Amino acid sequence: MRLLNMPIATGGWASKGSYMLRIFYSLCFGLFVGFAQADELKLRIAADILTDPKTSLEGNVAKSILYETDGGTFFGGTIYSASLGNAGGLFIGGFEAGQKFELGAGYFVEAAVFFGGGGGASIVGGDGTLIRPRVNVGTRIGDYELSVGASYMHVTGSKISSPVIEFAISRPLNWLLGDGHIDQCTGCVVKAQSPYVAVESVGAAYKSYLPLTSLAVGKRDGSILKPMQLAGAGIVLNMDHMWGAGWQSFINAYGAMGGDGEGYAEIIIGGRYGYDVTDWLNVYADAGFGFAGGGDVDTGGGAIVSGSIGAKLRVFNTAEVETSIGYVAALGGGFHAIVPSVKLSLPFGGTGANVDVGNLDVAHLQATHWSITTGYSIIPEHPNMRYPHDKDTGFLGLTDFKADLYLNDNFYMTGQALSVTTGGAGGFAIGLVGVGATLPLSDKIDVSAELLMGAAAGGAINVQGGLVAVGQLDVDYKLNDNMSLTSNFGWIKAVKGGLNGPMLGAGLKFHFTSFR
């Protein structure tokens, strides 16, 4: 076993697209062959500018979590969100694979291809597929990698087609991770980078947006935005060893599931400071920055800021319940709201271990098992799947990213994000959270059952408010201790809408363990 040291976390175009897709699959294959020797998990953030914008989209911000091997091959998930122009609400999610080449003296060149889909902001009317190649040149400054690059962005079913210049920064996440699902490594020492980051908690949340219409009406068409209900999930990271005691960082993703604003979604990252009043009560304040839009909510170019104060109550050391009140506003649009929220989280060992970050005996650290799936799913065409005004037909094809967090050997929490790439439904996306149970049938085959709920919207798919439920059965075939082939069959139903049919998928599942 090898322990890892990681930080966080398409005309003519059709033929070009199929060629780029073959390159993408080749890069993925190269990564999968060498994945057992993966060396780093990196967070990459890139800002870009379209040099020839033909729509209201003028620039994006990309957020990526990438696995990188010793040989420089990398693969992971990436989400593009509008940041310049007036296209708030445009999100495109999918997978990215590439290769880094070392030039010496800290300089490097990397080439990559992104495959995914999405839409929003009323500028993607077709499939919404994006196959985006890029080349970057960069240098290392300490733990950080800075690069500048060029790419081309063409989203099918839209007028988005332009060369792109991008600027990127990345760094290791400094998580303490091990290959496969392991409980401990007695006598094995992890050489940890100092400082390091640990997972504090993972949870699901519900919040309301109460628009401050006295400041602005809230909708792009000039009408009054009514209250919205959102559901989502988030991860909190313990930053004690980087920022000092009491500090945390977070990544949250939400989608509208009731009230006004059907189709609205947001991703926010930020920091939090908490104070322990007692062993079971913590009070905190946080601030965040992110990107949001959809549902005709006036978020301008897409950038939003948020802040809140709240209290966290620990229940029998097995769960945490949070309540908070906050404020959210679009930096370039007419959207302001008061935000009451409630969140249920699963904690991981309190406020962080007081350990020597030079040499860590893993036997004294707490292990948490994870599985990450990258795949592709389809929803066959069925009656009432689309709103009556939409004349498109055909199955929906979606990129599928899924994370499982194990409570024990048989039960786990799960989160799933899907983004459309085909089916004439550009902009359709699904976010789900739920629970699952797994049963090994043999040394090689596991079967799992899951129940999930969440939000879906966009692409004229009939979800009537956004709330959806999914039941799903997974079958996994282990290739080795770190990786499995997976296939799934499930059923997805919009609670109020006409989306009500099977959902089939396949992918690759990666297994690892985090320590704290």
Structural domain boundaries of the chain?
3-179, 198-347, 366-515
* CB-based burial, 49-72: b 16+ in 10 Å, e otherwise: bbeebebbbbbbbbbbbbbbbeee
Question: For residue 437, what pLDDT is reported?
Answer: 96
- 243-264 mean pLDDT: 85
Pairing of strands 198-211, 336-347: antiparallel
Coil/strand/helix, residue 208 = strand
Greater confidence (362 vs 202) lies with 202
Q: Any idea which fold 198-347 has?
A: Porin (2.40.160)
Q: Which range, of 205-214, 291-300, 372-381, 471-480, averages the lowest pLDDT?
A: 291-300
19 φ, ψ (degrees, to nearest 5): -65, -45
Read off the tokens for 430. Answer: 């699904």
pTM of the model: 0.72
- Which residue from 131, 127, 19, 32 is spatially nearest to 76, judged by alpha carbons? 32
What digits encode the pLDDT tens for the residues 188-242?
A: 444 344 456 677 888 888 899 999 988 888 888 889 999 999 888 888 888 887 7
Q: What is the pLDDT of residue 173?
A: 75
Bigger pLDDT: 182 vs 379 = 379
End-to-end CA distance of the chain: 18
Q: Report which of residues 252 and 173 the model is more confident about.
A: 252
Q: Which of 94, 93, 98 is nearest to 75 (CA)?
A: 98
Task: Work out the mean pLDDT of the chain and round it to a whole number.
Answer: 82
- The Cα–Cα gap between 391 and 460 comes to 10
Find the farthest-apart pair of alpha carbons in the chain and give their distance in angstroms, rounded: 65
Percent of all residues in the chain with a pLDDT value above 90, rounded to a whole number:
36
Between 516 and 345, the more confident residue is: 345
Within 10 angstroms of residue 469's Cβ, the number of other Cβ atoms is 15
User: CA 230, CA 207: separation in Å to the nearest integer?
Assistant: 5
Q: Which residue has the higher pLDDT, 450 or 27?
A: 450
Say if residue 503's pLDDT is above 60.
Answer: yes
Q: For position 196, what pLDDT does the model report? A: 61
CA dihedral 202, 206, 212, 218 (to 10 degrees): 90
The more confidently predicted of residues 178 and 501 is 501
Task: Choose among 441, 291, 424, 415: nearest CA to 345.
Answer: 415
Two domains, one topology: 3-179 and 198-347: yes
pLDDT reading at 360 higher than 60? no
pLDDT on residue 323: 95
Note the pLDDT of residue 425: 80
Residue 388: asked if its preceding bond is cis (omega within 30°), the reply is no
User: Please, are residues 494 and 468 in contact by the beta-carbon 8 Å criterion?
Assistant: yes
Whether pLDDT at 19 is above 60: no
In this prediction, residue 290 carries a pLDDT of 87
Range of weakest confidence among 5-14, 111-120, 316-325: 5-14
Instruction: Could you please state the CATH topology (level 3) that the domain comprising 3-179 is classified under.
Output: Porin (2.40.160)
Hey, what are 396's tokens?
A: 């929906």
In the prediction, which pLDDT does 351 show?
40
In which band, very low, low, confident or very high, does the pLDDT at 390 lie, cut at 50, 70 and 90?
Answer: confident
Q: Which residue has the higher pLDDT, 352 or 157?
A: 157
Whole-number pLDDT of residue 359? 52
Reported residue count of the chain is 516
Tens of pLDDT, residue by residue over 289-317, are: 988 887 788 888 888 999 999 999 988 77
Alpha carbon 367 to chain centroid distance? Answer: 23
CATH level 3 topology of 366-515? Porin (2.40.160)
In this prediction, residue 30 carries a pLDDT of 38
Q: Are 43 and 54 in contact (CB under 8 A)?
A: no
User: How does DSSP assign 437-454, residue by residue?
Assistant: EEEESSSSEEEEEEEEEE
pLDDT for 81 equals 86
Which of 3, 4, 36 has the alpha carbon at shortest distance from 188?
3
Mean of pLDDT values over 241-259 = 85
The model's pLDDT over 62-120, given as tens digits with 9 standing for 90+, comes to 988 888 887 888 988 888 888 888 887 788 888 899 999 999 999 999 999 998 887 77
| Better-predicted residue by pLDDT, 89 or 429 | 429
Tokens found for residue 335: 């959207």
**Exposure of 498 in the CB half-sphere (CA atoms within 13 A):** 11
